[in-house]
Structure 1
Amino acid sequence: MTTANELKDELMRVRRDARELHSHDDVQAAIGRVAVQLTADYSERFPVFVTIMNGGMVFAGQLLTRLDFPLEVDYLHASRYLGDTSGGDVQWIVTPTASLAGRDVVILDDILDVGNTLLAIIEACKAQGAATVSTCVLVDKVHDRKAQPGLKADYTALEAEDHYLFGMGMDYKGYWRNAPGIFALDEEG
C-alpha cells in the first residue's frame, strides 16, 4: 500500500519530469481565441453551456468569464472509467438540471481523446430535445484512434501529441488538474 509521502513523492516527480507542451500563456491565448469564436457564434442566442466534470471545470472557469453575453451554465458528470484504467460503457453520475429542450447546447470538456464519452453526451443532449449541440474542448489529442473517423470538436483551443497529458483540468491519478499548463508524460509514471 502506498503511503501519503510515497504518493506525494511520486506526484512531485511526475510534475518535475513532465514535458511542457503548452505553457500557461499559450493556453490563455488559445482560450481567448475560442472565446472570440464562441462570442461571434452565440452572442445573439440564449445558449446553455454544459461542463463535463471533473476535467472540464478548469477550462470552463477560464473560458466562461470571457463570454460577455447571457448564457446559462450547467454541468454533468459521466465516465467510462469509474476508477478503472480502461473505459467501458458510459455511466451517468450527474445529469444537467437545466432543460435542454429547444436550446443551443455547448458542451465544454478538457480533452477530446477517443471521443466515446463525448459522443454519448451529444446523443443524450439530442434525446433531451436540444435544438443544436456543439462541442468545445481545450485539447484535441492527435491520433488515429478516434471513435469515429475524423472526429473533431466544433471548437478546439489546442492540439497535443498522443501522450498521457495533465494540467489545466486533465489529471494524473486524480492530481495535477491545477498544473498551470499542459504537460506530457512520455511514459506513465
Structure 2
Amino acid sequence: MSADLRTALADADLLFDRAALEQAIARMAVAIRADYVDGVDTRPVYLTVMHGGMPFAAQLAMELGALGLDLEFDYLHATRYRGATAGGELLWKHRPATSLKGRRVLLVDDIFDEGHTMAAITAWCHAEGAADVRIAALALKRHDRAVPDLQADYVGIEVPDRYVFGYGMDYHEQGRNLPAIYALKD
C-alpha cells in the first residue's frame, strides 16, 4: 500500500464494510432479476463502466447468475476524471463491440455522483439503438447537483457528499480494490 493511500485511510471514516456491501449487492440483484424476468428478448447486454465499476460489476453478475439471469458481457471506458478529484470533458477510451441495436442494456458502475458521465454514456447507448437502458450503481452520492431527469435505476447504498473511495472508487488511482467504502473526513 502506498504512503498516499495509507495517509488517506488514516484520515477517513469507514462507511460500509465488505459484508454490508455484499448484502446491498444481493438486494440489488433480486430487484434487477425481477425487472428482467419477462424474457421479452435475448439476455441483456451487461456493460461494465471501467475501471471503477469492475469490482462491483463482477460481484453483481455472480449474484444475477445465481438467480438465473444470463448476461451478455461487454464493457466501456469513458472518464471525466483521469485520476483527478474533479471531472472535466468526457474522454472515451473504449466503446463496446457488442451491437446495442434493439437490446436491453444494463450499465453497471461504482458510483452515481452528479451523472454527467452516465448521461453521456446513456445518450450514446440510445444513439446506438438500445431499446432500453438502465443504470445499476453500487453507491449514490447524496446531494442536489445531479443531472436533471437522470437517476440510477438500482442503487446499493447511499454515501454522503464527501470524497469516497474503495470498492472500485479510487483515491488518486489507488485503493480501488479495498473491500470497503471509506470517506475522507471533512
1:93 Cα shift? 0.8
Runs of 4+ in 1 over 4 A off after TM superposition: none
**SS across alignment from 2:19:** helix
| Aligned position for 1:55 | 52
**SS across alignment from 2:64:** coil
| Aligned position for 2:118 | 118
Question: Which letter does structure 2 place at the counterpart of 1:19?
Answer: D
Q: Distance in 2 between matches of 1:141 and 1:83?
A: 19
1:152 Cα shift? 2.2
Aligned residues: 180
Cα RMSD over matched residues? Answer: 1.5
| Aligned position for 2:152 | 153
Structure 2: where are the runs of 5+ without partners?
Answer: none
Give runs of aligned pairs for residues 1-189 of structure 1, distance below 5 A.
Answer: 8-43=2-37, 44=39, 45=41, 46-68=43-65, 69-148=69-148, 151-187=150-186
- From the superposition, tell whether residues 83 and 179 of structure 1 become closer, same or farther in structure 2 (CA, over 3 Å): closer
1:83 Cα shift? 4.3
1:10 Cα shift? 2.4
Q: Distance in 2 between matches of 1:17 and 1:88?
A: 26
Q: Deviations over 1:19-69 (max 9, x none)?
A: 011111110000000011111111425201101000000000111011122
Q: Deviations over 1:71-90 (max 9, x none)?
A: 10110000113344432221
Q: Distance in 2 between matches of 1:84 and 1:64?
A: 29
Question: Which letter does structure 1 place at the counterpart of 2:59?
Answer: Q
1:178 Cα shift? 1.1
- From the superposition, tell whether residues 167 and 71 of structure 1 become closer, same or farther in structure 2 (CA, over 3 Å): same
| Aligned position for 1:4 | none
| Percent pairwise identity | 46
Question: Which letter does structure 2 place at the counterpart of 1:147?
Answer: V
Structure 1: where are the runs of 5+ without partners?
Answer: 1-6
**SS across alignment from 2:135:** strand
